[in-house]
Structure formats: structure tokens, C-alpha cells
A and B are shown apart, each in its own frame.
Chain A
Amino acid sequence: MSWEVVIGLEIHAQLATQSKIFSGASTAFGAEPNTQACAVDLGLPGVLPVMNAAAVEMAVKFALATDAEIGRTSVFARKNYFYPDLPKGYQISQMALPIVGEGKVAVMQSDGTEKVVGLTRAHLEEDAGKSVHDQFSDATGIDLNRAGTPLLEIVSEPDMRSSAEAVAYARQIHSLVRYIDICDGNMQEGSFRCDANVSIRQKGDTELGTRTEIKNVNSFRFLERAIEFEIERQIDVVEGGGTVVQETRLYDADKDETRSMRSKEEANDYRYFPDPDLPPLIVEESFIDSVRQGMPELPQARRTRFVESLGLPAADAAALTVDRQTADFFEATLDESFKPRLAANWMTGELFARMNKEDVSLDAVPVTAEQVKGMLIRMQDGTISAKTGKQVFDELWNGAASADAVIADKGLKQISDTGAIEAMVDEVLAANPGQVEEYRGGKDKLMSFFVGQVMRASKGKANPAQLNDLLKKKLEG
């Protein structure tokens, strides 16, 4: 039988606000347990939530970035359930009227093609705290630092047809939320978490199959594996004559499998109702305009500009717009004196290779865009060769102040004085009469031998272009 896989994702992106969604407590990660929870986060009696305007602004940014409808009037609702790390006994979320309605996002697939994935909605809600099970032998600890952290839950249409498509979509959203600066995207810290709704159906069917929901996957690799496992499991169930049960499942990375958490029958009745403590959230046109003014150039537009205005190859443009930081870094290295392509080559070649080798991300790279720019200017004006550039870059990586300082300190200035090079060429030819004879007899390969000898004599500083010209002239002329 031939199966079609249908996947939709719910992504929880933690919004990068300074304070919580309904209180003034800090959202910084990693503080001592329960030190960043105020009376509102603790759900003490009598306290009330107050909407954080920064979270609203971020939700609107997301809507603008995904061409989505903006809910001019959205409503907060209470999702009621008991859990020790849910202080109020309900989570404030949005149900019937979310702040972000239908939108879409163009996802670059691994084969370079683009697929448009529909967004059903995105809504604001507060995060719960954390239960700590492994620190006490006979009790569970509760850390409420995370309670009340703003989340944007981004719900996709069931438009993905493979785990690879799902991951590509998740990566696209991940890149986008960082691009527009509404989420730090840190998956280890839980700032970006995915739930996957997975079902299968026979190819050609139009009805959706029964879905299962895999909860809280916090890496792209795990997302792909969890979906893969789940697809296989569902196919096995159906082909074995069984039926897929609607349920929530958990991905166990250690065992690389999904496990049932709770079935539909066991599911809570959340008793949603509009939160009477929060009036409907009205988003004015003027507010949307002001958010629009502050929007950065979106990745797709930037990619197109890099190709069309800067003349970069599509692949380079894609690599350099993978995130906003990379694109900003690249643009900061540009100078009128050289073509953007020189900088693009340098970044996608030398810089990325070095980052890979050292296993560091761009923000940990010890070289600034300004320093790279200084180096590229010297490559362009012939002060140093591309090869010497690598050496200069190495020095910059190790703490040198600037390319000019390295060139001066290490005496790396290229010899472009024709007289000086000519003298060295003459010396080398005089010292190797046999090879000169052979070359003139037709052994062209010896050219590199002569180049090497002169380079050695110049300690690598001879301008390669001039050197080549002079050698050719002397040997053939």
C-alpha cells in the first residue's frame, strides 16, 4: 500500500521580552529557582494580570512577517487544569479570537525548491513553571521562574508531507522569529519547542487520518526522528489491521521512540472561557503602522536583494541570509572598494570553515566584521595576496587588532616593486640553468618550480601576478 504522510506543527516560541507576559518579573534564563517569580506569577490571592505591550508588539511583528491577518480584537481565555507547576490552576491563553490569524510562510526545501506552508493562527499565552523531578529523593520540586513567560504558539496547517518538510518548515520559522527579533531561538533552554501532529492516509485520499500529537520536541534532529518513528509506527499499526488512536505521545530521545502520554478519553476538559481579568485586546491600526515601521528587512527580501543588487550567486545569498546575524555581519564587511562577491566568498569559505572547525557560532567569533572589512580592502588594493589574507585572518582570530597592524608587525606587505622582483627572478634563473634549459625544451610544468623558488626568495611576499608575468617574459622572451 502507498501511504501519504500528513504533518502539522505547533511551535511554541518564547517571546524575547524583558518581563513576563502579565507581570513585571524578569524572564532571564538560568536564575536560582523561584527568584524570578512575583506575586502574580505565584498566583497569590487577589493579584491580577496586566498585559505586557512588548509581547503584543512581537505578535504583530510575526503577523506582518507571515502576511497574516491581525486580530484587531483578540480575547484571552483561561485554560483550566490542575498541575503543580501551573500556579493559578489555569493557563491564560487565547482560544476563539487569537491575535494572529491565517498567514503563510515560504519554506526553502533541501532540494532548493520553495514550498508555501499555511499558518492557521498564532496566539499569545503564558508558559507554566517547571517540575523538577530529579533533585529530591521523595518529592518533586517546583521552579516558577518560567511561569508567566510569554509564548507565541504558531499553528501550521497540515501542509507537510514528510519529516524533512516538517523540519524545513520548523527551521524556517526558527530563522524567521530570530530574524524579526522576537525569540532567541535557544532550543536547549526551551525557547523554541515543537509539537508535531502526524497522521497517515492512503495516497489519493482527501480525508485526514486519525492524528497523534508528539509533544515538546526541542531539537530539529529529534523532530525528524520522532516524526519518522511515528510514521513507521502508524503504518505498522494500520497494516497490521489495527487503527491509530488519537492520543498525545512523547518522544524519548534515548530510546528513539514515541510513547503514549494520554489518550483522547483521558484528556482534560479545559473548560475554556474568556478571562474576566483581561479586557479584549484591541490592536489599533496606528499601532500596527508603528510596528511596521520598525520591521527589519525579511530574509526572503534580503536574499533577493543580495542576488539582484549585490550580484551574489543564489547559493551564497541563501547561506548569508540563513539568519539575521550572518546577513548583518556580511553587510558590515562590505566596502565600495571591492565587489560584494569578494566578501561573500571570504565568509562562505574561510569564515564558515573556521567556525565549523572551532565549533563556534557567529556571536562567538572573535573577529569583527570591521576587521574583516579592513583585511578585504588590503586584498583588493594588492597590499596582500589571498594566501597572505589567510595568515592575516588567523592573526585576527588570535587577537590581533587589525589587518594593517598584522601586515606591519609581520612584514607581510606584498612586494609589488617590479625591479625587486626582477632581481629575484634573475637570481633564480641564474642558479638553475638546467631547469631553464628543460623548460625551454618544452617542460611547461617547471613554471611552478620557478614560481616557488622566487616566492621562497621573497618570503612569500612577491606579488604573484607580477611574478608570473616577469617569469614568462624572461623564460620565453
Chain B
Amino acid sequence: MSTELHTLTLAGMQSAMQAGEVSSRELVDHSLQRIEAVNPEINAFLQVDTDGARQAADAADAVRSAGHAGPLTGLPMAHKDIFCTEGLKTTCGSRMLENFVAPYNATVVDRLNQAGMVMVGKANMDEFAMGSSNENSYFGAVGNPWNPEFVPGGSSGGSAAAVAARLVPAATATDTGGSIRQPAAFCGITGIKPTYGRVSRYGMIAFASSLDQGGVVAATAEDCALMLTAMSGFDERDSTSADVAVPDFSAGLNESIKGLRIGLPAQYFGNGLDAAVGDAVHAAVKELEALGAIVSEVELPNQHLCIPAYYVVAPAEASSNLSRFDGVRFGHRCDNPADLEDLYKRSRGEGFGAEVVRRIMIGTYTLSTGYYDAYYKKAQQIRRLISDDFDKAFESVDVVLGPTTPTTAFKRGAKTDDPVAMYLNDLYTVSANLSGLPGLSMPCGLVDGLPVGVQLVGRAFDEARILSVAHQFQQVTDWHQKMPASV
């Protein structure tokens, strides 16, 4: 059985452990072996905690023997390297934090530890979560397991590639403008960005605080539901976390979608959408209709303002959030600074990569006196319009559906010289961040051997709904079971 262990889903591993067919230690050892064998090719992991993982697995097995196992006890997973892990390096994909070890755990890390999950390592990512291709990592690009010549998407490219290559059954990820959903789509897996405030941001290194949200990537919606239930909930250490009851997302998965109203925004199927991707999404819609869903068109009239608004708000907040990386207290410090200004300029200049510098400069500009009203304030007004559009759409439908990305994964290097082309990857995903709504991407096809993702956007705090729609879809389709040939 051992050679096939990695092809199990999180839920499959859970059943196997519960049935006594496999131990956590065996699952974790198998995961560590897979990482050792496969990671050199795709660079999905920045750090592997072999000893820590084995100890945690043994502890989990002991807990299970004692009869105290919970639903996640002993299951292997990886954390995106944006979540602080006490005693273990947290780099955020940046030279700036190459040797940074946080003296605390992120709330998400604490909660999954308490649930008994076993972290095997930290996943690669675009530097400070800025990027759509995982080519912005200081520690090297990540290869798409479907074809390492192609990008896995970003910024959670390491998490998505690790799951797609079946190195781990699930991984945490974060999403500021699409960073969970776009790599999930490119890698043929399922990923959910919950409602803003659902998952604590404490200990999750900030990119754009009003947009950042932690979530999960896994093979299936069922697996996402398992993890999300444990990750979610109010945290007094994060003032923006929502004090809203968290349902057991697994419990609602089997709810029928008969009569469910699905809205297709015309604006998601227009210019810029690859025809083959559009076809795959329409085919998914047909499957859902067959399951009893009622499909109609909806309007998101301000959709065209999403990218401009996003690329004002996100860099503005980032420019301020990243000011703390100044070479004074932690992180990269230049050699022999001549004076304070030299210390700042060289430490930051050396510590940050090109995309991070670009966004800091954009953000600094848009917040400046005389530009604030024209940019930042205007962008915030646009956010309100976009939220209003969704509110209006949700008067007539329960879920908004569209492609996750305009195209499938592109070749490495194809867009690195054209930031705007890169930013357009987020065309369909940023609206969920700007409005704070939950969004999920799941696989719905293959085009030229590369996965296609379909996105579901739900009402605020209605993750249960989009998870159940995805689960029902995955009961009658097998896109989520398709794996790269190398697996």
C-alpha cells in the first residue's frame, strides 16, 4: 500500500488511520520521502522539518492509541512560509527574512497543531505573497507538477504544487487577490479563500491587511472543509477577525444543490477569456444544472474597475506594512552601513526583490499628499461599488460562478517582463478580496494537459454553501482525481 499512500486524499488518509490501516508516522515518513524525491524538481518546499514532523507523528499515533484522536490527528500537511512557526524559519519567500525565526506561532499554526495535524515543512511562495507565478521567490521559482516548464501560479505556488504533486494532502495558503484560487486552478486542485475575518491573520505576515485572508488548498472540497473547520474562528489577537460562529463545514457537504441558484456574470465571460477555458467552465455549469442547479446571468457592472482598484489598495497597504523591514531589529541588514539612511536604503534594497520594490513604490506614491484622494480614497469607493454589485447579485442567486483565471498556466518567464500582463491573472479573483467574500476554485477540465479552474463566490460567511456545491460537483466528476503523470 505504501507506494500509493500519497494518492489518498486527506479524508482518505483519515479513514485509513481510523481503520488502523496506516499510522501517522507511516504517512509522514511517506510524505518526507516524496518530498526528498520530488522537491528538487519543483522546489515547492523551502524547508522540511523532518525531525519535528516525525516526533509530531509519533505523538499523534500515541494520542490515537489512547483513544483521543480528533478528525485531523496525525494528518500531514504543509504551511505556506508566510505563517510564523515558532522556532522554525519563516522567510515569506524573501531574502529580507532569510534567517528570521519567529518567537511565536501564527494562530492558524496553533490551531492546526492543537487539532493534531503534522506539519512536514514550509512551502515556497512569491516574495511577501506578491506575484501570480511564484517566480518572485528569492529561493527560486516553483515548477508546476503538471509540467515543470510552466508556472504553478502564485503567490501560494509552493502550497498548490506540493498538493498537486501529492507531497502532502493539504497545505495552508493565503489569498490577497487570488493567491489561493489561481494556483489551485493552475495546479488542478481545490482551494478556498474564506470570508475576510473568518481565519485569524495573527502571525500571518501582512501583505495588504484589508485583503489578506488565510485558507487552504487540497485535492478536494471535502479536504478543504476538514481543514477550514479547524482553522476558522474569532481570535482576540486579530481585531479584524470575525466573531461569527463556525459551522462544521464537513457536516454540510452532502446538502443537495437542487434548486440552488447559480449566477454567471456576463463580465466574467468576455474579452480576455481563453475560449477553451470558457468551454471547460460552461461544461461544469452543465454538470451543476444536471444536479438541479438553476443557472441565470447576473451583472457585476463594476467588474472592470477591480484590477485598477486592487492595484491601488494592495500596494498602498503593502508599502506601509513592509516599512518594519528596516534592518534595525530583525531581518536582513546591509554590511557596514555608513549612516542611518545608508542602513535603510541598502538593507531594504538588498533585502527586497524587484516586484516588492515596485509595489512599495506604487503604494508610497498613491498615499502621498495630493494623490491620496485621487487614488487610495477613490479605490476604497470602488470597493464599496463592487461590494454593492455582489449584494445585488446575491438578491437573485446563491452562488456566483465563473472561470478562476482567464487562461491555464503559462510558461515560466512568459510574463516576468510585463507586470501588467501578470496582474491580469487576477482579473476574476480580486473582486472576492475587495468585497471580502468567500471564493473557491476547483478543477473542471484540462486544456493541452494543463488544468482549468472554476470559481465559486458565496455570500459572506457562507463558505458552507460553496464547499457543498464543490463537493456535489466532485461526487459526479473526476477532474479533482486527475493527477500529473509524474505522480
CB of B486 within 8 Å of the partner chain: no
Which of A7-15, A80-88, A394-402, A410-418 contacts its partner?
A80-88
The answer to whether B381 has its CB under 8 Å from any CB of chain A is: no
State how many angstroms separate the Cβ of B36 from the closest Cβ of chain A.
29
Measured CB to CB, the closest approach of chain A to B110, in angstroms, equals: 12
A311 at the interface (CB under 8 A from B): no
Shortest CB distance A218–B (Å): 25
A244: shortest Cβ distance to chain B, in Å?
A: 23
Tell me the minimal C-beta distance from B313 to chain A in angstroms: 9
* B201 located at the interface, meaning its Cβ lies under 8 Å from any Cβ of chain A in the complex: yes
Least distance between A234 CB and chain B CB atoms (Å) = 27
CB distance from A75 to the nearest CB of B (A): 12
A90 at the interface (CB under 8 A from B): yes
Minimum CB distance partner of A81 in chain B:
B323
Given contacts A45-B100, A46-B206, A84-B340, contact A276 B324 (CB under 8 A): no
Q: Is the interface of A mostly helix, strand, loop or mixed?
A: loop
State the CA gap A87–B325 with chains docked (Å): 9
Q: Does B317 contact A (CB under 8 A)?
A: yes
CB <8 Å contact, A273 and B367: yes
Bound: A35/B386 CA distance, A: 46
User: Are the CB atoms of A271 and B202 closer together than 8 Å?
Assistant: no
Contact B320–A271 (Cβ < 8 Å): yes
CB within 8 Å of B: which of A269-293?
Answer: 269, 271-273, 276-279
Q: Give the A-B contact count at a CB cut-off of 8 A.
A: 105
Cβ A82 vs Cβ B210 within 8 A: no
**Which of A36-44, A161-169, A360-368, A467-475 is near enough to bind chain B?**
A36-44
Alpha-carbon distance A51/B372, docked complex (angstroms): 26
In the bound complex, residues from chain B placing their C-beta under 8 Å from that of A89 are: 320, 322-324, 326
Do A45 and B84 contact each other (CB < 8 Å), given the known contacts A51-B239, A271-B367, A278-B239?
Answer: yes
Contact A50-B236, Cβ < 8 Å, known A44-B330, A45-B100, A87-B329: yes
Stretch at the interface among B2-10, B101-109, B179-187, B475-483: B101-109
| Alpha-carbon gap, A90 to B322, bound state (A) | 10
Query: In this complex, what residue of B is CB-closest to A142?
Result: B328
Once A45-B97, A45-B205, A50-B237 are accepted as A-B contacts, the answer to whether A269 and B323 lie under 8 Å apart by CB is no
Q: Mark B81-122, 1 if CB is under 8 A from A, else 0.
A: 001100000101000010010111010000000000000000
Which of chain B's residues 442-463 have a Cβ closer than 8 Å to chain A?
A: none
The CA-CA distance from A49 to B344 in the complex, in Å, is 24
Residues of chain A within 8 A (CB-CB) of B202 are 46-48
Decide: B102 and A276 in contact? CB cutoff 8 A.
no
Determine whether A78 belongs to the interface, using a CB cutoff of 8 Å to chain B: yes
Contact between chains at B324 and A87 (CB < 8 Å): yes
Note all chain A residues with C-beta closer than 8 A to B372. 271-273
User: How far is A263 from B388 in the complex, measured between Cα atoms in Å?
Assistant: 45
Q: A48 to B210, Cβ gap below 8 A?
A: no
* Residues in A60-96 with C-beta less than 8 Å from chain B: 78, 80, 82, 84, 87-90
Kindly state the separation between the CA atoms of A201 and B221 in the bound complex, as whole angstroms.
Answer: 72
Question: Beta-carbon contacts of A235-271 to B below 8 Å, as 1s and 0s?
Answer: 0000000000000000000000000000000000101
Most B C-beta atoms less than 10 A away, residue of A46, A272, A278: A46
**B323's contact among A39, A82, A272, by CB below 8 Å, is which?**
A82
CB distance from B234 to the nearest CB of A (A): 12
Judge whether B350 is part of the interface by a CB distance below 8 angstroms. Answer: no
Interface size range on B against A? 35 or more
A-chain residues with CB within 8 Å of residue B344 when the two chains form the complex: 82
Contacts of A48 in B (CB 8 A): 201-202, 237-240
Which of chain A's residues 316-342 have a Cβ closer than 8 Å to chain B?
Answer: none
Chain B residues with Cβ below 8 Å from A82 are 323, 326, 344
Query: Taking the complex as formed, is B364 at the interface, i.e. its CB lies under 8 A from any CB of chain A?
Result: yes
Known: A45-B90, A90-B320. A279 touches B239 (CB 8 A): yes
Q: Return the chain A residue nearest B209 by Cβ.
A: A276
Within 8 A of B (CB), among A2-36: none
Output the nearest chain A residue to B104 by Cβ-Cβ distance: A39
B44 at the interface (CB under 8 A from A): no
In angstroms, Cα B324 to Cα A276, docked, is 16
- Cα–Cα, bound, A80→B340 (Å): 17
Contacts of B340 in A (CB 8 A): 84
Measured CB to CB, the nearest residue on chain A to B236 is A50
Chain A nearest CB, measured from B311 CB (Å):
16
In the complex, are the beta carbons of A88 and B323 less than 8 A apart? yes
Give chain B residues whose Cβ lies under 8 Å from the Cβ of A47.
104, 202-203
- A271's contact among B240, B322, B364, by CB below 8 Å, is which? B364
Binary contact track B230-262/A, C-beta < 8 Å → 1, others 0: 000000111110000000000000000000000
- In this complex, what residue of B is CB-closest to A40? B237
A276 to B90, Cβ gap below 8 A?
Answer: no
CB-defined contacts of B367 to chain A, threshold 8 Å: 80, 271-273
Question: Roughly how many angstroms separate A49 CA and B102 CA in the complex, as a whole number?
Answer: 17
A88 with B328: CB separation less than 8 A: no
Contacting residues, chain B, for A39 (C-beta < 8 A): 102-104
| Complexed CA–CA distance, A279 and B236 (Å) | 13
CB neighbours of A279 from chain B (8 A): 239-240
Bound form: Cα–Cα A142–B83 in Å: 28
Q: How far is the CA of A142 from the CA of B325 in the complex (A)?
A: 16
Query: Is B173 close to A, CB under 8 A?
Result: no
B239 x A45 contact (CB < 8 A): no
B204 interface residue (CB < 8 Å to A): yes
A273-B376 in contact (CB<8A):
yes
From A51, which residue of chain B is reached at the shortest CB distance?
Answer: B239
Q: Give complex CA distance A62, B51 in Å.
A: 56
Query: CB of B369 within 8 A of chain A?
Result: yes
The CA-CA distance from A90 to B102 in the complex, in Å, is 21
In the complex, what distance in Å separates the CA atom of A461 from the CA atom of B102?
76
Check A276 against B210 for contact (C-beta < 8 Å). Answer: yes
B329 touches A42 (CB 8 A): yes
Instruction: Evaluate contact between B330 and A269: CB separation under 8 angstroms.
Output: no
Q: Would A84 and B328 be within 8 Å (CB), given that A48-B237, A48-B239, A49-B239 are in contact?
A: yes
Most buried by A among B100, B209, B317, B329: B329
Task: State the Cβ distance, B198 to closest chain A Cβ, in Å.
Answer: 15
B-chain residues with CB within 8 Å of residue A51 when the two chains form the complex: 239
Q: Which residues of B contact A45 (CB under 8 A)?
A: 84, 90, 92, 97, 100, 102, 205-206, 324-325, 330
Minimum C-beta distance from A39 to chain B (A)? 6
Interface centre among B204, B322, B326, B368 (most CB of A within 10 A): B326
In the complex, are the beta carbons of A277 and B240 less than 8 A apart? yes
| Given contact pairs A88-B323, A88-B324, A273-B320, A46 touches B102 in the complex (Cβ within 8 A) | yes
A269 to B84, alpha carbons, bound, how many Å? 32
CB of B383, distance to nearest CB on chain A (Å): 12
Whether the Cβ atoms of A44 and B239 lie closer than 8 Å is no
Q: List 27 A-B contacts (CB under 8 A).
A: A43-B329, A44-B104, A44-B324, A45-B90, A45-B100, A45-B325, A46-B84, A46-B106, A46-B203, A46-B204, A48-B240, A50-B237, A78-B320, A80-B319, A82-B344, A84-B326, A88-B323, A89-B322, A269-B368, A271-B367, A271-B372, A273-B367, A273-B376, A276-B209, A277-B239, A278-B239, A279-B240
Contacts A84-B326, A142-B329 aside, 6 further interface pairs with beta carbons under 8 A come to: A42-B329, A45-B84, A45-B92, A272-B372, A276-B240, A279-B239
Q: Which residues of B contact A (CB under 8 A)?
A: 83-84, 90, 92, 97, 100, 102-104, 106, 201-206, 208-210, 236-240, 316-317, 319-320, 322-326, 328-330, 340, 344, 364, 367-369, 372, 376
4 nearest interchain CB pairs?
A89-B323, A276-B210, A276-B209, A271-B367
**A interface with B by C-beta (< 8 Å):** 39, 42-51, 78, 80, 82, 84, 87-90, 142, 269, 271-273, 276-279
